[in-house]
Amino acid sequence: MRHYMQTLRECGEILDVHREVDPKHELAAVTQAAMRRWNKPILFHHVAGTTLPVLTNLYGSRERLADIIGIAPDDFCRQWTNLTGLGGAVAGPLKREVPAAPDLVECRLRDLPLLTYSERDGAPYFTSAMFVAKEPETGVPNLSFHRSMYISDEELRCRLAPRHHLTLYHEKAERMGRPLEAAMLIGPPPTAFLAAAAPVPYDVDELEVAAQLAGAPIEMRPCRHIDLMVPATTEIVIEGRFLPNERRPEGPFGEFMGYYVPVGPQAVFEVLGVTRRPDAVFHSILCGSSEEVLSLELSVAANIYQRISAVLPGIVDVTCQPFVLHTVVKIRQQYEGHARQVLMAVLGVEPTWAKAVTVVDEDVDIYDMNDVMWAVLTRSRPDRDTIIIPDTPTFYRDPHRDHWGRIGTDATAPYERRDDFVRKRIPGADTVDLAAYFDRRPG
């Protein structure tokens, strides 16, 4: 992460805040306002209550995420299968053990930035920490993100979402009557951040995926208090274990959908030790911001792209914008009814996130919601081109069934009349050099 930060700084992409900020609300408020205006990474040099600087919005743009793995910003879905395919470009072992750096600093949780984000949050939270744990039987490690509520230097309470791999690990360890050791990584290598969000199978080592994304083996060091290896360059590592058959109140917390998740019984993480680099930078993610939602959008979109491309032709690209629950599919129409088959395929392969699905032609920019809505409003008939499936669950955390029901919209041009829907085009408008026509930039 440190090398990536330096690269961004050399490009003038880092915003610096030297004024001291309060970890309760103020840092989050500045982050949100600055992201809306510039959408650049922000480094807070002085945060009250800690000596560590805080970095926010590091991964908040599609362009930055694409740059990490050397692909085009609009090519994630097509490239993701190749980049995360086992047996990729890295020759030899994908992980290499190295000794822990002798200058690692032991500290307490209270020494780290304890950030409170939203008005009604029940306590400070760790939002960017990536958990690494081993499958209790096979030993295959998993990477995943889960929010953690600060209780004390010895205890965090973590929300483990249903069906996530770490949740399954924890439940399996409980059935075996033992705790599950895990480490929380704050500031791991950027490719590990991407790998943690990747739609990989249960038995795949996501650290090996991270190595393939990096094109080089990842250096791993042993933890000090548990039997785990972690990426050696990680800024901060919190070591501990999930207690078996123990659930305690956690919340409320302002989550990614923009609402507060109420207090509920969640997993208990016993902290056994904290190590950090001597000049560690603390990475924070503002929940609900593009830095959090974008990685989820990319993961869901890539998974949908892979699965529907395996059964249907003409799939050009997939995105999940402007929010994860809306899937937009770009197709190259092959036959009458092609778009409707795509709609049904998406609804079939993605039971959790595809609450709404829109299918458009290849001349539509699916990353521009104005263009997508243009297609909906000029190429679809609501009474004929909209499919509503009632009384069907989608998002898993939905006790009041607010997300039940699904909708699909065919916003492609009628197959037999495609020539009637050719978009107008002004030759040269996309490539004109305005500096050659205006003496100075307006405004």
Is residue 442's pLDDT more than 80?
Answer: no
Q: Is it the case that residue 304 has pLDDT exceeding 90?
A: yes
| Average of per-residue pLDDT across 344-370 | 95
For residue 56, what pLDDT is reported?
96
Q: Is the pLDDT of residue 443 over 60?
A: no
- Per-residue pLDDT band for 364 (boundaries 50, 70, 90) equals very high
Task: Give residue 89's pLDDT band: very low, low, confident or very high (50, 70, 90).
Answer: low
Q: Which domains, ranges and CATH numbers included, belong to the chain?
A: 1-58 (no CATH), 89-278 (2.30.110.10), 291-415 (3.40.1670.10)
Q: Given a cut of 60, is residue 90 above it in pLDDT? A: no
Burial class (CB in 10 A: 0-12, 13-18, 19+), 381: exposed
User: What's the token pair of residue 25?
Assistant: 């609300």
The alpha-carbon radius of gyration of the chain (Å, integer) is 23
Give the whole-angstrom CA distance, residue 130 versus residue 142: 10
Q: Which pLDDT score is estimated for 86? A: 45
**Structure confidence by residue, pLDDT tens digits, 41-88:** 999 999 999 999 999 999 999 899 888 888 888 888 888 766 665 444
What is the rounded distance in angstroms from the CA atom of residue 112 to the CA atom of residue 276? 10
Q: Which of 86-90, 254-258, 361-365, 382-386 has the lowest mean pLDDT?
A: 86-90
Token pair in block for residue 428: 């040269």
For strands 155-158 and 264-276, give the pairing. Answer: antiparallel
One-letter identity of residue 49? G
Res. 204: pLDDT tops 90: no
Q: With the CA atoms of 308, 314, 319 and 325 taken in that order, what torsion angle do they form, in degrees rounded to the nearest 10?
A: -50
Q: What is the pLDDT of residue 84?
A: 60
Both tokens assigned to 378: 């000029």
Residues 6+ apart with CB under 8 A from 174: 180, 244, 245
Express as a percent the part of the chain with pLDDT over 90: 70
pLDDT at 176: 95
d(CA 179, CA 163): 19
d(CA 334, CA 423): 19
pLDDT of residue 81: 66
Angle at 232 between CA 230 and CA 238, to 5 degrees: 50
CB 287 within 8 A of CB 147: yes
Rounded Cα–Cα distance for residues 142 and 170 (Å): 12
pLDDT at 87: 41
Q: Are strands 180-186 and 236-250 parallel, antiparallel or unpaired?
A: antiparallel
**Residue 363: pLDDT band by 50, 70, 90 thresholds?**
very high
Question: What residue type is 395 in one-letter code?
Answer: F
The per-residue pLDDT for 213 is 83
Top pLDDT among 410 and 397 is at 410
**Does pLDDT of 92 surpass 70?**
no
Decide the pairing of beta strands 125-126 and 356-361: unpaired
Non-local (6+) Cβ contacts of 348 within 8 A are: none
Mean pLDDT for all residues in the chain: 92
**240-264: average pLDDT:** 94
- Alpha-carbon separation of residue 55 from 7, 29, 66, 187 (angstroms): 14, 14, 19, 9
pLDDT digits (tens, 9 = 90+) for 111-163: 999 999 999 999 999 999 999 999 999 999 999 999 999 999 999 999 998 77
Token reading at 307: 């699965």
Polymer length of the chain = 443
**φ, ψ at 312 (rounded to 5°):** -135, 145
